[in-house]
Amino acid sequence: MPGYTADKDAIVKRLKRIEGQVRGLQRMVEDDTYCIDVITQVSATTKALQSVALLLLEDHLGHCVAHAMVEGGDVADHKIKEASEAVARLVKS
């Protein structure tokens, strides 16, 4: 069971809001909205996605990684490496 299960409804709600933001961006471009205004909205959408990613990461650490640490051994090492790689991807984005 994924670590985010308890927050699933909130995450889906956020993603639907982000979907609306992306549709709004498309309309802005179709309507020839001023570049800086579109960029501002892209930034807001990006921050919203990053917020979802951080929530998912927090849930992953608190659930999946925590359980793997109790189990120990290779499972724990794998989960820690996996989480570290996810953090690196978030930092690069």
Q: Which domain holds residue 53?
A: 5-92
Segment holding 53, helix H or strand E: helix 35-60
Total count of domains within the chain? 1
Query: What pLDDT score does 5 carry?
Result: 85
CATH number at residue 62: 1.20.58.1000
pLDDT value, residue 85: 95
Say what the alpha-carbon torsion angle 33, 35, 39, 40 is, to the nearest 10 degrees.
Answer: -70
CA distance 24 to 28: 6
Give me 78's structure tokens. 């794998």
Q: Along the chain (93 residues), what's the average pLDDT of each consecutive run of 10 residues?
A: 86 97 98 98 97 93 92 93 93 85
